[in-house]
């Protein structure tokens, strides 16, 4: 008689699966809560202690770690010497293993979880059985996911055994599963121990969705989510309308969310190709959107919009007048949904808007990863220094602080021009700073006069300051720190500009 070992934390479908195995001639071995569930269903089950002839001990920490179990799992059927050894020790082969693990992820996701609770939900016996069975997949069928029960039962009914190809795929799935499980434990304990960059970096993600293609149609792509993604992550967004998000949609949406989370007052952010093209704030969300629209009426077409307030009827009416790819907001009123869902191609995402917890930015390079803290540096505007003879007015300072929030999210070299309520011109991703400034001035046009300017890094020479003055800029915010700072200060003083330095750089590559 064939044997199956069944011990699951997630009992979805396990009774029906086990009943089918029994009907196919399998003897069932089980443990703990799984054994009780199967017995309660009236199924014949052998306890693990009947196989090991050793009782569970240490509050269940030790029950399956025994030669009678692992010998039955690892025994190679093609080696006569293995057969002699298990016969000599009275070990019976185990042909099928169905195991899933203690809910470590669910445990640490709970508010107020203690270290003791987390430790007790680190499974030892489960991964050991899975790994033993998966290593011997030439003879053993191993399952870790209820989604595979049906396909395995079909093969057992049709041929009396599973195909080698099936066992191989299931074994690979097991090793992915245990690797992810261990990675989550490693991450939890590493964070607890305060190690920022350990000697080994173990990351795990779950497939959220496959995509039609990546940045371009000839590139394959998929979206993977962190197992414990926070509520402000796109992985947690609820899509209310529209077709599935593309690779580029997700990248742009993520950029928009990071910017809009900077604001407490009603704010709207428009993003194209990972760069903001218009940001506005106001006393209402419709006013904020209107300002974001006016900031760049051309680039917003086909853009991604993120808002930090509920989308109401008035805002929806304004948005419905142009083509937008995505609108993201914490909620949509009933009237807003009725208006926006009339547009077939718009995607509507409901998502918590917040800066969220600190995290690491991970960027792939050929052969490796670059890992850094995210740029959520908490700046103190009280520490900013006035560099010029003239200090900014209160109104100019308000505008400078607004634009400083924006420039950190613009690809370097970055120059942002605006006022206290909106951006007016954005120069992004240029190879030199004067080029970025000229783009921003050209976009702002006549509105440059009386506006302020933010630069993500210092001025290596005074040409940008002079160009700003001639364009009508009245105040500048920049990190400072160039060996030629004095030349820029002198140029600002020449034209009566106010300039402050933050001593913080915001490069974004």
User: Are 498 and 478 a contacting pair, CB within 8 Å?
Assistant: no
Angle between helices 313-320 and 285-295 (to 10 degrees): 20
Catalytic residue among 2, 135, 169, 241: 135
Residue 135 is a catalytic residue: yes
Q: Which residue has the tokens 């414990």?
A: 228
Q: 336 Cβ partners below 8 Å, 6+ apart?
A: 310, 311, 312, 313, 315, 316
User: Are 236 and 229 a contacting pair, CB within 8 Å?
Assistant: yes
The DSSP line for 174-198 is HHHHHHHHHHHHHHHHHHHHT-SS-
Pairing mode of beta strands 452-455, 475-478 = parallel
Q: Which residue has the tokens 């760049």?
A: 296
Rounded CA separation 370/363 (Å): 5
Q: Beta strands of 205-296 (E only): which ranges?
A: 206-211, 221-225, 238-241, 267-272, 275-281
193: left (phi over 0), alpha (psi -120 to 50) or beta: alpha
Burial 192-222 (b: 16+ CB within 10 A, else e): eeeeeeeeeeeebeeebeebeeeeeeeeebe
Catalytic residue among 2, 66, 82, 273: 273
Angle between helices 80-88 and 67-74 (to 10 degrees): 160
Joined together, the tokens standing for residue 77 give 């059927």
Residue 318 is a catalytic residue: no
Rounded CA separation 334/356 (Å): 27
> What separation in angstroms does the CA of 356 have from each of 67, 257, 352, 407?
48, 11, 10, 20
- The 10 Å Cβ neighbour count of residue 478 is 28
The DSSP line for 301-326 is TTEEEEESS-B-HHHHHHHHTS-EEE
Rounded CA separation 181/173 (Å): 12
Pairing mode of beta strands 415-418, 452-455 = antiparallel
Q: What is the three-class DSSP state of 58?
A: coil
| Cα angle, residue 258 at apex, residues 255 and 262 outer, rounded to 5° | 140
> What separation in angstroms does the CA of 250 have from each of 93, 199, 305, 319?
49, 31, 12, 20
List the catalytic residues: 135, 273
């Amino acid at each position: 008689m064939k044997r199956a070992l069944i011990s699951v934390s997630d009992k979805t479908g396990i009774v029906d699966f086990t009943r089918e195995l029994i009907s196919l001639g399998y003897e069932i071995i089980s443990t703990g809560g799984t054994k009780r569930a199967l017995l309660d269903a009236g199924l014949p089950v052998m306890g693990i202690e009947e196989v090991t002839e050793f009782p569970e001990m240490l509050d269940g920490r030790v029950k399956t770690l025994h030669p009678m179990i692992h010998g039955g799992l690892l025994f190679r059927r093609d080696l006569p010497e293995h057969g002699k050894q298990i016969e000599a020790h009275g070990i019976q082969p185990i042909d099928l293993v169905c195991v899933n693990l203690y809910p470590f992820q669910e445990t640490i996701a709970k508010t107020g979880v203690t270290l003791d609770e987390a430790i007790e939900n680190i499974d030892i016996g489960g991964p050991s059985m899975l790994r033993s069975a998966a290593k011997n997949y030439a003879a053993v069928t191993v399952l870790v996911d209820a989604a595979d029960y049906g396909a395995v039962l079909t093969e057992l009914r049709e041929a009396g055994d599973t195909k080698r190809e099936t066992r191989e795929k299931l074994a690979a799935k097991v090793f992915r599963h245990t690797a992810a499980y261990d990675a989550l434990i490693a991450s939890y304990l590493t964070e607890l121990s305060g190690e920022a960059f350990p000697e080994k970096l173990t990351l795990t993600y779950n497939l959220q969705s496959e995509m039609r293609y990546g940045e371009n149609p000839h590139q394959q792509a998929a979206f993977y989510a962190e197992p414990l993604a926070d509520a402000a992550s796109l992985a947690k967004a609820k899509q209310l309308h529209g077709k599935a998000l593309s690779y580029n949609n997700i990248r742009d949406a993520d950029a928009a969310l990071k910017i809009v989370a900077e604001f407490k007052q009603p704010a709207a952010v428009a993003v194209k190709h990972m760069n903001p093209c218009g940001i506005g704030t106001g006393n209402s969300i419709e006013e904020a959107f209107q300002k974001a629209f006016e900031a760049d009426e051309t680039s917003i077409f086909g853009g991604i919009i993120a808002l930090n307030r509920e989308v109401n009827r008035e805002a929806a009416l304004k948005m419905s007048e142009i083509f937008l790819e995505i609108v993201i907001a914490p909620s949509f009123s009933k009237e807003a949904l009725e208006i926006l869902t009339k547009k077939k191609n718009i995607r509507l995402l409901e998502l918590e808007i917040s800066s969220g917890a600190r995290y690491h930015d991970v960027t792939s390079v050929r052969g490796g990863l670059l890992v850094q803290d995210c740029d959520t540096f908490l700046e103190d505007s009280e520490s900013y220094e006035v560099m010029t003879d003239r200090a900014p007015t209160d109104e100019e300072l308000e505008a400078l602080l607004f634009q400083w929030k924006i420039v950190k999210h613009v690809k370097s070299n970055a120059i942002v021009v605006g006022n206290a309520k909106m951006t007016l011109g954005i120069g992004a991703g240029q190879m030199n700073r004067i080029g970025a400034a000229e783009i921003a001035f050209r976009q702002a046009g006549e509105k440059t006069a009386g506006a302020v300017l933010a630069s993500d890094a210092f001025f290596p020479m005074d040409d940008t300051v002079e160009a700003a003055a001639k364009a009508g800029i009245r105040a500048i915010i920049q990190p400072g720190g160039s060996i030629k700072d004095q030349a820029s200060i002198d140029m600002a003083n020449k034209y009566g500009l106010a300039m402050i330095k933050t001593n913080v750089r915001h490069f974004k590559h």
